[in-house]
Chain A
Amino acid sequence: MSVSHSHSTEAHAHPELGFLRKYIFSEDHKVIGIQFLFSGLIFFLIGGTLALLVRLQIGFPQGSIPFIGRWFPLSWGDRMSPDFYAMIFSMHATIMIFFVIIPLLTGAFGNFCIPLMIGARDMAFPKLNMMSYWFMWPAFAIILCSFFVDGGAAGSGWTSYPLLASATMPAGQGFHSPASPHSGLGQICWLVALVFVGISSMMGSVNYMTTIINLRAPGMTLFRMPLTVWSMFITAILQSMALPVLTVALILQLLDKTINTTFFLPPGGMSFGNQHTGPGGGQTLLWQHLFWFYSHPAVYIMILPAMGMVSDIICTFARKHLFGYKPMVLAMAGIAGLGFIVWGHHMFQSGMDPRLGTGFMLATIMIALPSAVKTFNWLATLWGANIQYTTAMLNALAFVAMFVIGGLSGIFMAATPVDVFIHDTYFIVAHLHYVLFMSSVFGIFAGIYYWYPKMFGRTMNETWGKVHFALTFLFSNCTFYPMHIIGVAGHPRRYYDSTLYHFLDNVQSLNVFMTISALLLGVTQIIFLLNFVWSLFRGTKVGANPWHSNTLEWAAPSPPPHGNFLETPIVRRGPYEYGNPAIEDDYLPQTSPQPSGVPVAAH
């Protein structure tokens, strides 16, 4: 039970905090959110750079990269070794998911938006909130150091399936793994780092839920909350239920690796050439169950907040009331609920009982339903709108377009017989980048462009923002769309060099094309980086509500002071009163007094 001091007593008389308390060990949710934002973006660069290395290898399997050998002794001279390749795509995915998307969506936007959008002064437990950020630091440090430990960082994919990840020598023979050089200390670092990420997220989610349940401003009923808050709420619920399971799985694997427990090692142990593990007794498949029990809900953790944010952004710039507010909320709840019973779709070919496969398939395909409801409601919101093409809006629209592609490819894999062919091919890689990169990341970009003025009091440069958007949209499609095609041709994923295979001869040209697009995509991000930093100091200053938006955060000054609101806002209506014909303006903030002649809305 962590604890907070009362803000009600000191709300209007803040003692000036020192630099350290104000910007580093801050308990202010906005500062913590921005801290998450900066760390997430830095890790995005690292993860992205790794992705480019991955692409280089696939596009030019025989090519050489001069600096690799100098930095990382494990590689083969000027070329990447296959082990090294395994390491970089594993770390690419790990960093992108656990150190970029989740911290950005829930950490940065969750922290920044929740209290502001429900009209609270801060999170329920500011100290806990601070701790949730600082518990990320051991994870940051460990995951970065793990590149340089003996054997290199983890290299068993972001899924870290045993036994490749977990095989160890018998007690007393050190932490080497007979399975792969990366499964020794590097894997241990991976596990420990993720445990820290998990603890951090768990603290965050308890805090978010409590805040949303108990600290809403007067008048802010549940069904007056903006979808961003709803999505954060549902995400927090997902996290609090799913994360502990991952934590257990991580700890069990950690025990397997360090003290020779046998949770994932089958009876009799396994043999690697002339090296052998200790005795066994457990079940290899158990890890996959525990892992996906978390990680499937986790993919919704990585999309729901983006969906919520995008809904708000679309409404703001479409100047239109959200179409079907309650169905949207129910759809999110439905996705979350169903999300818990579909994890087996990652395991159709894993040797899981095929009868379970049928059940998981039915559940999985049904999850397209709430997603359909969301998609059609977005489209209906745009219908008859008055769309302002700001950078934030463009990114949000791209989210909608790309999520449909990513979601529809999910249906192929959900169908068990088709998945027999498609599983672990580039079709999956295409799917996951469409939903993760092209949906979640576009959602994040949209959120950054949208809330930037609230965070820093200045807008980002719109022109460069649009250039960045257009190029990103173009190149990311060029990078990831052809992956569907090579997936259909059977190109397995996680392949260091596919030119060995006769049936893939045709598609190598596409691989080269994708690599070039990916490099251009990487260069494009420099525009974003420069725009972001430049605008911090030189962006146009703006007032409290530059987008003429309705939600509560725009009622606070930009950037909001400690304590957020000059006076506690009173909420009088839902967040989507745009284009109401009964009033003169085309928007009506949640806090504004009821204009005369307008009937009070039902909710």
Chain B
Amino acid sequence: MQQKGWSIFFGAILLGAFLLFAVAPFVGWWLPANVSTFGPDVDRLFYIILGFTGFFFVLTGAILVYAMYRFAWRANTKSHYVEGNHRLEIAWTVVPAIILLFIAVSQISTWDTIKYYASMPNPDLVMQVTARQWDWSMRYADKPQPDNARAWAEVPAIDDIYLPSELHCWKGANVRIFLKTQDVLHSFFSPQLRLKQDALPGKTIPVWFNATDANTSYNAKTGKWDIDKNKRWEIACAELCGGGHYRMQGMIYVHENKEDYLKWLDGAKEAARSRQPEKKPPAVAKN
């Protein structure tokens, strides 16, 4: 009996593992909210894979535990003498092969949408984000679409607005970010936007997203833009970048519409202008 006990032990642990995954979504240990246009695709693919792998997990686990139970040691018996079986080998090569091919092929178009430069939609809003130890320096042009955006990403213009770690955009806007780093590798990670991209020293990498939900509204009392308490969408850094890696936090502000965004932009410009003098690089004389 002690022999068969082991199969139960294995079975219990594997069952526990299975149950944890089954329970997790219902106790809030699961994917964060999804507010990106391509996000549902990512989640769908995740569930497809979860389905297949879950199936194979249960299948292999069940066979293993059953075999452990059924074929536990009995004295004076012999095992079946088989060296193999060609048909079985072919079956369990071909069936997974088809499934795997299906999994692989189904990924391609979503990947294409998210990352290929050529398939990024025309931007409604362009910004440039420079990661550095340890914050995000967000640079906004004085209008949502600067002329020759790609060139603007390289050479700052005089009336740009810099904001540390605050990303502003509006609901439904195709946002393009030109991602750079000033020092080491960083990674722009927004769980809710299902977006992640490393910033690579020496390169400028285009990234895009389109948020489907807004979280920011104007608070007339304080005169500030407030984030909905239940919709705090953080930016995290997902590539080790030194001691401050864990606190390289940013915040995403999605305004209700373009008007709100422009209103915020005006305010930001105003604020920037009043900050200007101390911020300028060493004295500049105009004549």
Known: A417-B111, A492-B236, A503-B234. A164 touches B246 (CB 8 A): no
Q: B245 at interface (Cβ–Cβ under 8 A)?
A: yes
Q: Which residues of B contact A366 (CB under 8 A)?
A: 97, 100, 104
Known: A358-B108, A489-B31. A501 touches B249 (CB 8 A): yes
Name the segment of B14-22, B142-150, B159-167 touching the other chain. Answer: B14-22
CB distance from A502 to the nearest CB of B (A): 4
CB distance from B61 to the nearest CB of A (A): 7
Name the segment of A11-19, A138-146, A317-325, A517-525 touching the other chain. Answer: A317-325
Q: B262 at interface (Cβ–Cβ under 8 A)?
A: no
Q: Are B84 and A355 in contact (CB under 8 A)?
A: no
Q: Are B243 and A385 in contact (CB under 8 A)?
A: no
Q: Chain A, 386-409, contact with B by CB distance < 8 Å: what is the 0/1 string?
A: 111100001001101100110011
Q: Which residues of B contact A375 (CB under 8 A)?
A: 60
Q: What are 11 A-B contacts with C-beta separation under 8 Å?
A: A268-B202, A270-B201, A322-B83, A327-B89, A386-B74, A386-B79, A389-B2, A417-B41, A490-B189, A500-B246, A576-B83
Q: Which residues of A contact B157 (CB under 8 A)?
A: none
Known: A500-B249, A579-B80. A373 touches B89 (CB 8 A): yes
Q: Which residues of A contact B234 (CB under 8 A)?
A: 501-503
Q: Contacting B197 at CB < 8 Å: which of A322, A351, A397, A501?
A: A351
Q: Chain A, 151-175, contact with B by CB distance < 8 Å: what is the 0/1 string?
A: 0000011000111100100000000
Q: Chain B, 30-44, contact with A by CB distance < 8 Å: what is the 0/1 string?
A: 111000001001100
CB distance from A500 to the nearest CB of B (A): 6
Q: Chain A, 337-372, contact with B by CB distance < 8 Å: what is the 0/1 string?
A: 000000000000111001101100110011011001
CB distance from A405 to the nearest CB of B (A): 7
Q: Are A489 and B64 in contact (CB under 8 A)?
A: no
The interface centre, meaning the residue of B74, B199, B203, B243 with most chain A CB atoms within 10 A of its CB, is B243
Q: B63 at interface (Cβ–Cβ under 8 A)?
A: yes
CB distance from B76 to the nearest CB of A (A): 10
Known: A397-B68, A482-B20. A494 touches B73 (CB 8 A): no
Residue total for A at the interface (Cβ-Cβ under 8 A): 116
Going nearest first, the 6 A-B pairs with the smallest beta carbon separation are: A266-B202, A384-B80, A490-B191, A320-B79, A579-B79, A324-B84
CA distance A325 to B82 in the complex (A): 11
Q: Are A579 and B78 in contact (CB under 8 A)?
A: yes
CA distance A280 to B236 in the complex (A): 28
Q: B45 at interface (Cβ–Cβ under 8 A)?
A: yes
CB distance from B227 to the nearest CB of A (A): 10
CB distance from B199 to the nearest CB of A (A): 8
Q: A380 at interface (Cβ–Cβ under 8 A)?
A: yes
CA distance A271 to B133 in the complex (A): 10
Q: Are A284 and B115 in contact (CB under 8 A)?
A: no
CB distance from B121 to the nearest CB of A (A): 16
CA distance A521 to B56 in the complex (A): 28
Name the segment of A41-49, A65-73, A473-481 touching the other chain. Answer: A473-481
Q: Contacting A379 at CB < 8 Å: which of B63, B191, B236, B243?
A: B63
Q: A263 at interface (Cβ–Cβ under 8 A)?
A: no
Residue of A nearest to B236 (CB): A492
Q: A82 at interface (Cβ–Cβ under 8 A)?
A: yes
Q: Which residues of A contact B110 (CB under 8 A)?
A: 416-417
CB distance from A354 to the nearest CB of B (A): 4
Known: A372-B96, A401-B10. A318 touches B79 (CB 8 A): yes
Q: Which residues of A contact B10 (CB under 8 A)?
A: 397-398, 401
Q: Are B3 and A389 in contact (CB under 8 A)?
A: yes
